[in-house]
C-alpha cells in the first residue's frame, strides 16, 4: 500500500514556506535601499541621502584631464592654504554637471550647468545667497531630487528651484520658495535677508522633499529660531528649532556644513546640533514627515567619556547611514590633540539608543560605505565596511608622526588603536599617502602629504576608492591589491579644506583641487 504523504507535506508547506518568504522579503528590503542608491546619479553631497558615496557606474581610467572649470572666481589664500569647503558638483541622468561656484572674495554664488562630455556651459544662474558667520568658509551645496528638480540656497533662508536643469537654450525658469512661506518673505524681505542663513547642504528624499539647516541671527516677524527646515515638492514648509530637538536648553543651532541624512526607509532624518562654534552637541533623529524629535544622543569623547566631543563648525562631517541602519558621525576629541586632532567616528544604532564601536578618525570627514565583497582579503562577518580618512597630523603640538593614511574599517569588530589605545574599529586595509611632506620630514622622516577629502567615492565595479591628496593628485586605491594603481596630477598641490570626489553617469571622475573642478577619464 502506498503511504499517503499529502498531509505531512501540506503541514510542512504551511510551516516552512511562510518563514522562507519572510526571510526572502527581509533580505530584499535590506538590499533595496542600497540598490536604489546605486542606480541614482550623483544627486547631492556624498551621492545620496544616506551619504554612502557609492558610484552609480564603473569609473573611467584616470588617463587624462578631459576638462576643468573654476569653482571659485576669487579664491582667498591664507599663506599657502585655501580654507574653504566647496560644494559638491551634481550629475543629472542626462549627464549635465551642476557646479556650485563662489563668485566674490567673501561671498557671492552661482550655479553653472555644464555638458558632461565637453564641459561646455549650458546656462548660469546667480543667487542672492549670503553666507552665515564663519571662520573656514562653509559650503554652498545644491541638490537634485529624483524627479530632476534642482534646489539651491537663496537669501533669507529661501530656496530657488529649477525643473529643467538639462536645458541648453534658453536659460531655465527659476522658482523660489521659503520654509516659512514666500508671502511672509515678500512682506518683510529685508528682515529675513539680514537674519536667516542656510548653513548646511540641502538633502532630498526619494519623494522630492528637501531638508536643510539654517541659522537665525536677528529678529524676524515670525520669531524664527535656528533649526532644521523641510519643504515638500509643492512648496509647503515646516521647521523645528534646534533648541527643541533636545531637552538641553543651551543647544542653539545646527552644526555648520552638516548635511542631513535619511534612514534607508526615508522616515527618519539625522542631523547634528550644537551650542555654537567649536562647542558640544547631539546627533538627533527627527520624523522626516513632521520634524518631530524622535531621539537624540549627546556626543562624547571616546577616551574621556565624561567629556563632550567637539562638534566643530569648521568641519564638514555629516551622518552616514549604513545598509543595516547604523549611523556614523565624525567629531573632534576633547581635550584637544588627545587623539592627534584626528577626532572619532562615533557609531550608533538607528534609534540612537545603543553606542557601538567607534572609528579612530572622524575630523572633517564623512565615512563612505564599502560592500565587503570589494575587499577579497576580508574574511569577517560584516556585509559592509567603511572607508575613512586616517591622517595622523604632525603639526606643532598635535603629536602625530605625519604618516597620513586612508583606511577601510570593519564597523562590527574592534581592536586596540595603536595611536590612542582606545577600542576602535578594526583596520582592514590602510594605505599612506605617497608624497613626502617637506614641511615635516626633517623631524618626521616618514611624513607624507595628507589626504584632502571630506567624502571619497567608492567604485564597486573596479573595487576601488577615488581619493584626492594635498600633493595635487587624484588617486585610485585598488582594494584587491591595497595599492595606488592609478593617478592623475591636477595641480602642484596646496593645503586646503577638504573636498569631495564623485563619479558621473558616464564614469567620468570629478575632483576639486585648488579652487578648480577637474573631469578625469579616458
414-430 confidence digits (pLDDT tens): 999 999 999 999 999 99
Residue 506 in this model has a pLDDT that exceeds 90: yes
The CA–CA distances, whole Å, from 468 to 28, 327, 473 equal: 35, 25, 6
Residue 37 in this model has a pLDDT that exceeds 70: no
Residue 30 covered by a domain:
no
Record the pTM: 0.92
Going by C-alpha positions, the residue among 457, 445, 497 that lies closest to residue 102 is 497
Residue 27 covered by a domain:
no
Q: List the grid coordinates of 330.
A: 565624525
Q: List the grid coordinates of 167.
A: 536645458
Residue 412 covered by a domain:
yes
The range of the structural domain enclosing residue 394 comes to 40-521
CA atoms within 13 A on the CB side of 475: 25
Residue 234 in this model has a pLDDT that exceeds 80: yes
pLDDT on residue 365: 96
Long-range pairs of 169-175 with CB within 8 A, sequence gap ≥ 24? 169/122, 169/123, 170/123, 171/123, 171/124, 171/125, 172/123, 172/125, 174/125
Cβ–Cβ under 8 Å, residues 363 and 341: yes
Residue 1 covered by a domain:
no
Residue 4 covered by a domain:
no
pLDDT mean over 53-62: 97
Report the alpha-carbon distance of residue 274 to residue 243 in Å, rounded: 9
Residue 31 covered by a domain:
no
132-175 confidence digits (pLDDT tens): 999 999 999 999 999 999 999 999 999 999 999 999 977 899 99
Report the alpha-carbon distance of residue 386 to residue 360 in Å, rounded: 12
202-211 confidence digits (pLDDT tens): 999 999 999 9
Average pLDDT of the chain is 92
pLDDT on residue 248: 82
Domain of 311, CATH number, reads 2.130.10.10
Going by C-alpha positions, the residue among 204, 201, 96, 105 that lies closest to residue 153 is 201
Q: Beta strand 495-496 with 81-82: parallel, antiparallel or unpaired?
A: parallel
* Angle subtended at Cα 316 by Cα 313 and Cα 320, rounded to the nearest 5 degrees: 125
Cβ–Cβ under 8 Å, residues 153 and 127: yes
Number of domains in the chain: 1
Residue 23 covered by a domain:
no
Report the alpha-carbon distance of residue 365 to residue 51 in Å, rounded: 11
Q: List 493's β-bridge partners, or say none.
A: none
Residue 12 covered by a domain:
no
Amino acid at each position: 500500500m502506498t503511504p499517503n504523504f499529502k498531509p505531512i507535506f501540506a503541514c510542512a508547506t504551511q510551516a516552512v514556506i511562510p518563514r522562507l518568504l519572510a526571510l526572502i522579503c527581509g533580505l530584499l528590503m535590506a538590499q533595496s535601499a542600497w540598490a536604489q542608491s546605486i542606480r541614482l546619479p550623483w544627486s547631492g553631497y556624498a551621492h545620496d541621502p544616506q551619504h554612502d558615496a557609492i558610484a552609480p557606474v564603473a569609473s573611467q581610467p584616470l588617463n587624462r584631464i578631459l576638462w576643468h572649470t573654476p569653482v571659485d572666481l576669487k579664491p582667498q589664500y591664507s599663506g599657502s592654504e585655501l580654507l574653504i569647503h566647496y560644494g559638491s558638483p551634481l550629475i543629472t541622468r542626462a549627464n549635465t554637471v551642476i557646479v556650485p561656484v563662489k563668485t566674490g572674495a567673501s561671498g557671492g554664488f552661482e550655479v553653472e550647468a555644464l555638458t558632461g562630455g565637453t564641459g561646455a556651459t549650458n546656462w548660469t544662474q546667480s543667487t542672492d545667497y549670503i553666507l552665515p558667520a564663519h571662520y573656514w568658509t562653509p559650503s554652498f551645496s545644491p541638490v537634485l531630487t529624483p524627479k530632476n528638480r534642482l534646489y539651491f540656497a537663496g537669501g533669507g533662508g529661501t530656496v530657488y528651484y529649477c525643473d529643467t536643469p538639462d536645458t541648453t537654450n534658453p536659460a531655465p525658469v527659476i522658482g523660489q520658495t521659503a520654509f516659512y512661506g514666500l508671502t511672509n518673505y515678500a512682506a518683510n524681505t529685508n528682515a529675513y535677508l539680514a537674519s536667516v542663513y542656510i548653513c548646511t547642504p540641502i538633502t532630498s528624499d526619494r519623494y522630492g522633499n528637501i531638508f536643510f539647516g539654517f541659522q537665525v541671527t536677528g529678529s524676524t516677524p515670525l520669531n524664527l529660531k535656528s533649526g532644521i527646515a523641510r519643504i515638500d515638492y509643492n512648496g509647503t514648509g515646516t521647521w523645528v528649532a534646534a533648541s527643541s530637538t533636545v531637552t538641553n536648553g543651551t543647544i542653539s543651532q545646527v552644526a555648520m556644513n552638516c548635511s542631513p541624512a535619511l534612514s534607508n526607509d526615508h522616515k527618519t532624518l539625522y542631523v547634528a546640533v550644537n551650542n555654537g562654534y567649536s562647542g558640544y552637541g547631539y546627533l538627533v533623529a527627527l520624523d522626516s514627515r513632521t520634524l518631530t524629535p524622535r531621539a537624540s544622543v549627546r556626543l562624547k569623547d571616546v577616551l574621556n567619556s565624561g567629556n563632550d566631543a567637539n562638534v566643530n563648525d569648521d568641519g564638514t562631517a555629516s551622518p552616514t547611514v549604513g545598509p543595516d541602519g547604523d549611523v556614523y558621525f565624525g567629531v573632534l576629541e576633547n581635550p584637544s590633540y588627545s587623539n592627534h586632532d584626528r577626532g572619532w567616528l562615533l557609531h550608533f544604532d538607528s534609534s540612537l539608543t545603543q553606542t557601538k564601536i567607534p572609528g579612530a578618525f572622524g575630523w572633517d570627514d564623512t565615512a563612505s560605505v564599502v560592500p565587503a565583497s570589494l575587499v577579497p582579503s576580508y574574511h569577517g562577518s560584516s556585509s559592509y565596511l567603511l572607508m575613512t580618512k586616517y591622517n595622523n597630523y604632525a603639526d606643532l603640538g598635535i603629536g602625530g608622526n605625519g604618516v597620513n593614511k586612508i583606511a577601510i574599517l570593519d564597523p562590527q569588530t574592534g581592536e586596540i588603536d595603536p595611536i590612542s589605545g582606545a577600542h576602535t574599529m578594526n583596520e582592514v586595509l590602510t594605505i599612506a599617502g605617497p608624497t613626502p611632506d617637506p614641511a615635516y620630514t626633517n623631524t618626521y622622516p616618514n611624513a607624507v602629504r595628507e589626504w584632502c577629502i571630506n567624502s571619497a567615492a567608492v567604485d564597486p565595479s573596479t573595487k576601488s576608492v577615488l581619493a584626492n591628496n594635498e600633493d595635487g593628485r587624484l588617486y585610485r586605491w585598488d582594494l584587491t591589491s591595497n595599492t595606488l594603481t592609478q593617478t592623475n596630477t591636477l595641480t602642484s598641490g596646496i593645503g586646503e579644506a577638504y573636498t569631495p570626489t564623485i563619479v558621473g553617469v558616464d564614469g567620468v571622475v570629478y575632483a576639486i583641487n585648488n579652487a578648480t573642478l577637474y573631469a578625469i577619464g579616458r
